[in-house]
Amino acid sequence: MSILDDASAARRVRDPLDRMLQYLERHWRVYALIAPAIFFILAVVAYPIFETLRLSLYAAPRNSTVEVYVGLQNFRDIFADPFFYQLLWQTARWVVLAVVMKTVLGMLIAVHLNHDITGRKFFRTAFLIPWGIPYAISAVIFRWIEQPQYGYLNAILLKAGLIDQQIGILGDPSIAWLGAVVADIWIGTPFMAIIFLAGLQSIPQELYEAAAVDGAYRWQQFRYVTLPQMKSVILIATLLSTIWTFVGFDVIWTMTRGGPLDSTSTLVIWIYKTGFENGNLGLAAAFSAIGFVILLLFAVLYLKIYTRGDGESL
């Protein structure tokens, strides 16, 4: 190997380092400016995630200063418990029904608001109200409505002769989750409607005109113009709604606390109950880790769709 070769090899090694140093020299201000944000994210996002994953490997009762390392025992206990699968099923049916209904109702509202109807401005504002009310307050209102003794629902049904005695929806383990999911749908629909409305307004009018010239009726226009054009918007909105509904806590906790007989418990409710009410922080952290993985799948899907096409956002 010649001296020349040695020098070029050294230059090759040095070059990337030099390039990095030069790059940092040119751009250090940028990194200095984003440093606080990075530290903030590390503190409020990365650290809690790390701490939860660490805690999931420990038996950590809240009323003790002692944490005992148990490895994957918490996870083994969870997977061996049939209630975990019941919990997954209850979470899945909650999320699916809520998201489907929010999507369908949101689309219906958006399509109607997109037309030049009388009082459109009023309806646009009115439909936003449920989203503007704190979730817990909406949940309390729905609990009142469904309350058997003095709730509106029972009063109306009794007056209309549809029932002959009071029914306690939230007290019946077979239907309590439906009573709670109604509140969640009511709260979450306006967001979907607004997103869909924005999407509808971005569809070029010429497409509808062309479809009309080709003899397409309203439904056909919706089926062959609106839906294909809205595909990405619908995907993003439903994915976001799925994530938010999955982690939704306020509505169920306020209305039923996961009862009766745990019939309205979802994974998130159970995490809270296990960790903060029953004091088993280690076990709750293990449940959280499982929930984290499930959510991560949705998040990856969301990112994939959002950045589809060589990293360009939609």
Could you give the 3-state DSSP secondary structure of residue 311?
coil
Taking a C-beta distance cutoff of 8 angstroms, is the pair 106, 195 a contact? yes
Q: Beta partners for 61?
A: 280
Write down the least CB distance from residue 240 to another protein, Å: 30
- Give the position of tokens 């809240």: 62
Distance of CA 47 to CAs 41, 43, 54, 69, Å?
9, 5, 10, 19
Q: Smallest distance from the beta carbon of 244 to another protein, in angstroms?
A: 24
Give the whole-angstrom CA distance, residue 254 versus residue 190.
Answer: 21
| Smallest distance from another protein to CB 114, Å | 40
Count of residues in contact with another protein, rule CB under 8 A: 32
| Residue 101 beta carbon to another protein: minimum distance, rounded to whole angstroms | 22
When binding is defined by CB under 8 A, the residue of 1, 2, 32, 150 that contacts another protein is 150
Amino acid, res. 255? M
Residue among 86 and 201 whose Cβ is closer to another protein: 86
Specify the stretch interacting with another protein by CB under 8 A; choose among 38-46, 108-116, 144-152, 286-294. 144-152
In this structure, are residues 117 and 177 in contact, taking their beta carbons and an 8 Å threshold? no
Q: Which is nearer to another protein, 2 or 63 (CB)?
A: 63
250 interacts with another protein by CB under 8 A: no
E-strand stretches of the chain: 58-59, 68-69
Q: Is the peptide bond before 82 cis (omega within 30 degrees of 0)?
A: no
Of residues 53 through 92, those in contact with another protein by CB under 8 A are: 61-65
Binding mask 173-212 toward another protein (x if CB under 8 A, else -) reads: x--x------------------------------------
Q: Residue 187: CB partners within 8 Å, gap ≥ 6? A: 130, 131, 133, 135, 138, 251
Asked if 277 is part of the footprint of another protein (rule: CB under 8 A), the reply reads yes
**Residues 285 and 275: beta-carbon distance below 8 Å:** yes
Q: Is position 261 an interface residue for another protein (rule: CB under 8 A)?
A: yes
Distances, alpha carbon 233 to alpha carbons 84, 306, 311, in Å: 33, 10, 17
Q: Which stretch binds another protein (CB under 8 A): 32-40, 277-285, 290-298, 301-309?
A: 277-285
| Three-state secondary structure call for residue 68 | strand
User: Is residue 240 a contact point for another protein (CB under 8 A)?
Assistant: no
**Residues in the chain, total:** 314
Please pick, from the candidates 108, 167, 235, 247, the single residue that binds another protein as defined by CB under 8 A. Answer: 167
Interface stretch with another protein, choices 5-13, 99-107, 237-245, 271-279 (CB under 8 A) = 271-279
Closer residue to another protein in complex, CB, 34/68: 68
CB-nearer residue toward another protein: 176 or 183: 176
- Quick one: which of 111, 112, 235, 259 contacts another protein (CB under 8 A)? 259
Half-sphere exposure (Cβ direction) of 29: Cα atoms closer than 13 Å: 1
Residue choice 75, 136, 158, 172 for contact with another protein (CB under 8 A): 172
Pairwise CA distance, residues 283 & 50, whole Å:
15
At closest approach, how far in Å is the CB of 166 from another protein? 4
The answer to whether 163 contacts another protein (rule: CB under 8 A) is no
* Cα–Cα distance, 2 to 144 (Å, whole number): 88
User: Which residues of this protein are in contact with another protein, per CB under 8 A?
Assistant: 61-65, 146-150, 165-173, 176, 256-262, 273, 277-280
